[in-house]
Amino acid sequence: MDIRFLPHNQHWQSAELFSQRDPNLVRLASMPLVYTSSLLEDFPLTEPGIYSLTGGRQIGKTTLLKQWMQHLLERGVAPAAIAYITGEIIDDHHSLLMTIQSLLEHKAEASRCYLIIDEVTYIRGWDKAIKFLADSGQLQHIVLLLTGSDSMLIQQARSRFPGRRGAADQVDFHLYPLSFRETVELKYDSATLAQAQQGDFHSFLSQALMEYLQHGGYLTAINDMAQYQRILPATLRTYADWIRGDMLKHGKQERYLREIFSGIIKRYGSQLSWNSLAADLSIDHPRTVADYIELLAAMDALFVQYALQMDKLTAAPKKARKVVFSDPFILHAIRAWLAYDYQTATPLTDDPKWCGQLVESVVTNHFARQWPTYYLKTTKGEVDIAAVKQREILAIEIKWTSQLRTQDLKLIRQIKGGRVWARVPTRYELDGLTIESLPVALFNTG
């Protein structure tokens, strides 16, 4: 193996000491709060095929891969049957092909081998090498797991592997930031949670939600809060640098990126069109704005919430859309970057208006992880969330207040099964409409 990959394949020297020597697992173990994703149980174990794992930058994909390698070792897979390489130091598909073939020549005499290519989209023409290996039968006994932070590129390449993915029921996986529930269960043990549920669960979760609006579901930020009661400037800078760097690698301009982020934050949570956003920027064409936002959405930095077309239960392409960050932590990191100040960034939770907008974006992103999620607007009003589940609409109105006015709930009342999530301590009925505690409802949804 290329010696550059050896630090990430410590199991070849000692399977027993792998968790103590691997750089990602060592860093994970040093954190106050250690998380293990539920995806670990879903990953392929025996069925050969081409699998993919996508997810945003700095979300923990590499650490998850190392945990999976440890999982395989504990299940008795021979160390020589597992290999990890990173695309960040491989230039093109020719180099990738030679690297993989060299590994296959020295693979263990095992019925299954496991090959991980992390950040494969960094490699120019990577799919050509994978297609050649699959067509030539060299992946016949290989569980090949590819990862990338840009889901758009991986989705495009998937179409080039028809009939080559394998026979497993699930071949594509996506790693999201921790949900609100996953974060609460990470920070508090089962005894504490059980005691909270017996008491004022709404107040307990309300405090937890205020913290979630600061660190989001990013494990490094969560651990910063647990250890230092704030998010460290280095943590904010790391994410901002990664997203800036990835956009530059895609040929985008930093000046335009700053303008677009500033425009999104200025209109946060409001309905907008690419034309209206471009009108206030130096960018000449709305298509350029759309290209930037589509790429940022593919990188899991943003979520674009379209209006729902009721007759088709799909996105209404001609209507304005909402653009929000996919996690509160990303918003804080980008705000610090825009201000050229990672030291004195203040939490937006101190502002009641921003707090409400953050809460709505968190709930929206939680629903979008499970179902196609839109907003609904008619002449009778607007509903914040209209998720489509098996041809039925899950309609939720978000009110981060305890004072509800009937006139603000006209449209949600007309939708079958419509609910209101509000800042109320207990669930109750208002003119036939179900009002629920937002923190409790979000916890249960997670």
Residue with tokens 């471009």: 278
Measured in degrees and rounded to the nearest 5, phi and psi for residue 67 equal -65, -35
Is the same domain home to 289 and 329?
yes
Is 345 a residue whose pLDDT tops 90? Answer: no
**Residue 160 in contact with residue 128, Cβ under 8 Å?**
no
Is the same domain home to 304 and 435?
yes
Is the same domain home to 404 and 283?
yes
> And the tokens for 273?
């069109």
Residue with tokens 């979300």: 59
Host domain of residue 67: 3-174
Is the same domain home to 156 and 202?
no
In terms of C-beta density within 10 A (0-12 exposed, 13-18 middle, 19 or more buried), how is residue 212 classed? buried
Mean pLDDT, rounded, for 190-219 = 96
Is the same domain home to 281 and 137?
no
Is the same domain home to 121 and 193?
no
Measured in degrees and rounded to the nearest 5, phi and psi for residue 137 equal 80, 10
Is the same domain home to 264 and 384?
yes
Is the same domain home to 162 and 196?
no
**Residue 144 in contact with residue 50, Cβ under 8 Å?**
yes
Give residue 1's pLDDT band: very low, low, confident or very high (50, 70, 90): low
- Cα 267 to chain centroid distance, Å, stands at 22
Mean pLDDT, rounded, for 253-259 = 96
User: What is the pLDDT, as a whole number, of residue 110?
Assistant: 64
> And the tokens for 383?
């509903």
Is 336 a residue whose pLDDT tops 90? Answer: yes
What confidence tens digit (pLDDT) does each residue in 19-45 have? 999 999 999 999 999 999 999 988 887
**Which amino acid, 83?**
A
Give residue 400's pLDDT band: very low, low, confident or very high (50, 70, 90): very high
Q: Which one, of 358, 388, 392, 361, lies nearest residue 374 by Cα?
A: 388
User: What is the pLDDT, as a whole number, of residue 175?
Assistant: 95
Is the same domain home to 284 and 315?
yes
Name the pTM for this structure: 0.93
Domain end (from 174, 199, 225): 174
Q: Which one, of 324, 177, 193, 339, lies nearest residue 264 by Cα?
A: 324
Give residue 292's pLDDT band: very low, low, confident or very high (50, 70, 90): very high
Domain end (from 151, 174, 197): 174
Strand 82-86, strand 392-399: pairing: unpaired
Domain end (from 154, 174, 194): 174
Distance linking the first and last C-alpha atoms of the chain:
42
Is the same domain home to 134 and 53?
yes
> And the tokens for 27?
């860093």
> And the tokens for 132?
């050649």
CA distance 93 to 129: 5
In terms of C-beta density within 10 A (0-12 exposed, 13-18 middle, 19 or more buried), how is residue 6 classed? exposed
Is 317 a residue whose pLDDT tops 60? Answer: yes
CATH code for the domain in which residue 49 is found: 3.40.50.300
Is the same domain home to 197 and 221?
yes
Structurally, the chain folds into a number of domains equal to 2
Query: According to DSSP H, which parts of 299-379 are helical?
Result: 328-338, 352-368
Q: Is 294 helix (H, G, I), strand (E, B) or coil?
A: helix
Give residue 298's pLDDT band: very low, low, confident or very high (50, 70, 90): very high
Mean model confidence pLDDT for the chain: 92
Is the same domain home to 148 and 197?
no
